[in-house]
């Protein structure tokens, strides 16, 4: 396993982070525990969850993923061996069953209270805001429209998180599904008011979705904010199984076809070209896709998710794949011809 340091901390985290959003829906508790055991044996010490999980989000299943992690922690006694990351759900139509109070001080306290109970721990190593409270460009929306109803509350949010850090209930903070303006606002607010600095930003990043490079990559490198790259395989599209027609009936996009962000015509065409590059260079598309993300200089850790153990093993093995400059040039040539086909 390769390790890096969580930015602005002395916490060592594995270059691969174990994602968990299928546990409690597509995966049982026993399967989640099996993945955790195997990942830990392979040197992975970084686990990511959220109060919203599993996905798709429902009131019935909300928080079930974190409960699975909590029962594993209690059973195994491995709390001191892992770095736990979780998130408070932002406001939205599909989170109203959790709360409707956004990132107010009471909402942050309640969210941490409940998540600590589910995880059966006294503290969370990295606590993240799952997406902006204001209405802005996220999840593939290109055209920005001003959210005139939103009131700037960056300082209030950081004050609330600072209180939780001082109470010892969380150690560090991060953001997710955020853009460059929001990231810089958090950084400037922390700088000028002696408030906690964000360590990470968890955004989608893959060969099909490289919009992070347009502005956030510079922010990440200059301001020392590490990307936790989620969906590095684009919901499995970059495994090649949908292209080849080998996806099982319980594959995510067959079970949940509304998650079509990476399944459009342009994205599928680009994925086919990437598959050709992988096969020409005697590797699987999955391992090339993950190796590409692993090697980016602004990525602190790549979040992988798997429903089957064989997928998990292949994903972790991607750390042993090193893409040459020649292969990276081939990938960039496709990107140049078809930039961000799944934004």
- What confidence score (pLDDT) does residue 256 get? 60
Residues recognised as catalytic: 53
Instruction: Decide if 98 contacts 52 (C-beta within 8 A).
Output: yes
pLDDT-above-90 percentage for the chain: 83
**Tens digit of each residue's pLDDT (9 = 90 or more) over 83-104:** 999 999 988 887 889 998 999 9
Which CATH homologous superfamily contains domain 3-337? Answer: NADP-dependent oxidoreductase domain (3.20.20.100)
Q: How confident is the model at residue 253 (pLDDT cuts 50, 70, 90)?
A: low
The confidence band for 106, taking pLDDT boundaries of 50, 70 and 90, is very high
CB 57 within 8 A of CB 94: yes
Integer Cα distance of 38 and 312 in angstroms = 9
Give the per-residue pLDDT at 263. 75
Amino acid 92: pLDDT: 81
Beta partners for residue 341, in sequence order: none
Segment 154-168 mean pLDDT: 98
Residue 176: band (very low, low, confident or very high) from pLDDT cuts 50, 70, 90: very high
34-50 per-position pLDDT tens digit: 999 999 999 999 999 99
| Distance between CA atoms of residues 125 and 6, nearest Å | 10
Please indicate whether residue 57 or residue 336 has the higher confidence score (pLDDT).
Answer: 336
Please state the rounded mean pLDDT for residues 239-245. 79
Cα separation, 288 vs 239, in Å, equals 9
Cβ distance 117 to 94 under 8 Å?
no
- Give the CA count within 13 Å in the CB-facing half-sphere of 244: 15
- Residue 173: Cβ-neighbour burial (10 angstroms; 0-12, 13-18, 19+): buried
Average pLDDT for 282-301: 97
Integer CA distances (angstroms), 249 to 39, 161, 246, in order: 25, 42, 9
Please, which pLDDT band fits residue 242 given cuts at 50, 70 and 90?
Answer: confident
303 forms bridges with which residues in the sheet?
17
Enter the pTM of the model. 0.95
Q: Which residues contact 203 (CB under 8 A, 6 or more apart)?
A: 176, 177, 178, 212, 216, 227, 228, 229, 230
Q: Give yes or no for residue 245 having a pLDDT over 80.
A: no
Q: For helices 64-76 and 105-119, what crossing angle results, to 10°?
A: 50
- All structural domains of the chain with their residue ranges: 3-337
Only one residue has tokens 């081939």, namely: 330
The confidence score (pLDDT) of residue 235 equals: 86
Q: Which residue has the higher pLDDT, 235 or 250?
A: 235
| Angle made by CA atoms 203, 278, 271, in degrees to the nearest 5 | 50
Show Cβ contacts of residue 171 under 8 Å, excluding neighbours closer than 6 positions: 9, 11, 123, 124, 125, 126, 165
Mean pLDDT of the chain: 93
Question: How far apart, in Å, do the first and last CA atoms of the chain sit?
Answer: 30
């Amino acid at each position: 396993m390769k390790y890096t340091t969580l930015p602005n901390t002395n916490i060592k985290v594995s270059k691969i982070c174990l994602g968990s959003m299928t546990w409690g829906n597509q995966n049982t508790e026993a399967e989640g525990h099996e993945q955790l055991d195997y990942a830990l044996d392979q040197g992975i010490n970084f686990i990511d969850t959220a109060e919203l999980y599993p996905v798709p989000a429902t009131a019935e299943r909300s928080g079930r993923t974190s409960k699975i992690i909590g029962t594993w922690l209690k059973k195994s006694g491995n709390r001191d061996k892992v770095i736990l990351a979780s998130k408070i759900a932002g406001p939205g139509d599909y989170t109203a069953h959790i709360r409707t109070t956004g990132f107010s001080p009471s909402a942050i306290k309640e969210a941490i209270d409940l998540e600590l109970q589910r995880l059966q721990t006294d503290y969370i190593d990295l606590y993240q805001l799952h997406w902006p409270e204001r209405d802005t460009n996220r999840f593939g929306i290109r055209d920005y429209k001003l959210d005139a109803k939103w009131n700037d509350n960056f300082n209030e949010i950081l004050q609330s998180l600072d209180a939780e850090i001082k109470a010892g209930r969380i150690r560090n903070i991060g953001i997710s599904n955020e853009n460059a303006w929001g990231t810089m606002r958090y950084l400037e607010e922390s700088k000028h008011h002696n408030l906690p600095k964000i360590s990470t930003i968890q955004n989608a990043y893959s060969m099909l979705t490289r919009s992070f490079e347009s502005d956030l990559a510079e922010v990440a490198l200059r301001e020392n904010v590490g990307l936790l790259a989620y969906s590095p395989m684009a919901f499995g599209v970059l495994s090649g199984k949908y292209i080849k027609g080998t996806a099982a009936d319980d594959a995510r996009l067959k079970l949940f076809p509304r998650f079509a962000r990476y399944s459009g015509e342009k994205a599928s065409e680009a994925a086919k070209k990437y598959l050709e590059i992988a096969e020409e260079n005697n590797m699987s598309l999955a391992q090339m896709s993950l190796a590409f993300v692993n090697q980016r200089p602004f990525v602190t850790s790549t979040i992988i998710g798997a429903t089957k153990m064989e997928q998990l093993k292949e994903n972790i093995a991607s750390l042993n794949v090193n893409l040459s400059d020649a292969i990276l040039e081939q990938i960039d040539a496709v990107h140049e011809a078809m930039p961000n086909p799944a934004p």
